[in-house]
Amino acid sequence: MTESLTSTLLTTSTTVPLRPRYEGSNICTWIGFKHVNYLVEEAVLEHFRAAGLSSRRLFEEFGLGLDVVELDTRIRTAFHLDDVGIARVEPATGAGSGELSFAVTIDKDGYGPGRAVAATARVVLRRERYIDPTSDVPAELAPFTVDAIGDAVWTDAPPADPDVVLQRLLAGRNAYGWRQRIPYPYCHFNERLQMSGYLRQMEAAADLFLADRGISIRQLLDGRRWIPVVPHSRIWMLAEALLEEDLYTVYTVDEVFKDLTYRSTMDTYVVRDRRLIHTATGSITHGYAKIQNRRDWTLVNIDAPVLDAIRGAGPDR
């Protein structure tokens, strides 16, 4: 009996050793949440390669772009530069669900199975239309193939002035936002913003929010040796955002948990055909750690001045 094109992809787990990238070591030798998510994404891509369905083959042979459209990642211990993580990918696609889902764990020396990172990832195969539209999609891949990512649209016509659009999105929120042109390095398959681009936006959003509140990363690093740490992040795409469109990013603090962590939401939008389209949403939980030496840090309680700034209740608010 001939093995189907997707049988290995949907039924077999894979493991692969991975190292975080040098770029992700920004404070001492610790690796930030964005690059931990990159490890999760790379593990999923390797799972497709092992099943004979590499992202290159999917695109060049079948006209399908492999898009990671959701990542939900819990980081239980810090990764350092040069650490090796053993990533395990387990297929979690339900029968007839029409989506490709995976459970991803990353183990590290000194921690039990699945203790370093635990994540879920959702993937769609997006039909290529930009270069050479094709309908030659194998039957086994058809259930996971889409013509576009998501369908979430806010149909109210936005004002013509981009600054007014942003003001409306920020109104009544404990939030920071900005507008930027979607750059080429954030995109893939010629035309659309990819998951790593959204991870960059989430990282930038936290950085800009803290600076706007007078507690920038540099200020707390210099003054207290405090750095932000992230135990949990989640991003999922609702619709496509395209190369060189203006992306509106809004970062909102939703909840402060005592004096330990706070959870924020990131939402992104584009204006297309006089409609404001909600392209992605996500959440991220932050705490603070104090640098003890070049190797170690410890979690700290967040004091009143920093909490007031996060809540938007500081003296200048």
The terminus-to-terminus CA distance of the chain in angstroms comes to: 70
Query: Distances from the Cα of 269 to the Cαs of 72, 178, 266, in angstroms?
Result: 20, 11, 10
Report the DSSP beta bridge partners of residue 289.
227, 299
Q: Considering the chain, what percentage of its residues have pLDDT values greater than 70?
A: 94
User: Has domain 1-147 been given CATH number 3.40.50.920?
Assistant: no
Same fold, 1-147 and 149-317: yes
Domain layout of the chain by residue ranges: 1-147, 149-317
pLDDT in tens, 81-140: 999 999 999 999 865 567 899 999 999 876 656 579 999 999 999 999 999 877 789 999
Residues 6+ apart with CB under 8 A from 75: 33, 36, 116, 117, 230, 231, 232
Three-class secondary structure of residue 219 per DSSP: helix
pLDDT score at 2: 43
| pLDDT > 50? residue 1 | no
pLDDT in tens, 157-168: 788 899 999 999
CA–CA separation, 131 and 195 (whole Å): 21
pTM of the model: 0.94
CA–CA separation, 237 and 124 (whole Å): 11
CB count within 10 Å of CB 205 equals: 25
CB 264 within 8 A of CB 256: no
DSSP state of 80: B
Residues 6+ apart with CB under 8 A from 48: 9, 54, 55, 58, 66
- The secondary structure of the chain in percent helix, strand, coil, rounded to multiples of 5, reads 25, 40, 35
| pLDDT > 60? residue 173 | yes
Give the DSSP H or E segment for 9: helix 7-11
Residues 6+ apart with CB under 8 A from 290: 224, 225, 226, 297, 298, 299, 300
pLDDT score at 185: 97
Average pLDDT rounded to a whole number, residues 167-172? 95
Three-class secondary structure of residue 262 per DSSP: strand
The fold of the 149-317 domain, in CATH, is: Thiol Ester Dehydrase; Chain A (3.10.129)
pLDDT in tens, 138-154: 999 999 999 999 976 67
- What is the DSSP annotation of 158-213? PPSSHHHHHHHHHTTSSEEEEEEEPPGGGEETTTEE-HHHHHHHHHHHHHHHHHHT
